Amino acid sequence: MNLCPGIESIYRWQNRLESNSEVLTIFKTTATAYPAFESRLRELHPYDIPEIVAVRPEQVSETYAKWVTASALVDSRV
């Protein structure tokens, strides 16, 4: 997980322009573990509609991919 503090989000919510400080969090997981991870993240997140974006890497080093696969969360504990 990577935490990127100091993010200023500007967005429209319920017909109003909003602005808030946020921390961008980057999680690494596998395609297999992703559905359970997303479900648990939605349960824990305080926003009604959290920004959850999955990005599939086009290329990734073999050793890093093996490490992510070995360390990915595969149950509902986040």
* Per-residue pLDDT tens over the stretch 36-71: 999 999 999 999 999 999 998 889 999 998 998 888
Closest CA to 37 of 68, 14, 6, 4: 68
CB atoms within 10 A of CB 34: 16
How much is the mean pLDDT over the chain? 89
* Sign of the CA dihedral with 65 first, then 54, 5, and 70 last: negative
Residue 8 tokens, joined: 């200023």
Residue 6 backbone class (left: φ over 0; alpha: ψ -120 to 50; beta: rest): left
Domains of the chain, each with CATH number or no CATH: 2-71 (3.30.70.120)
Residue type, 18: E
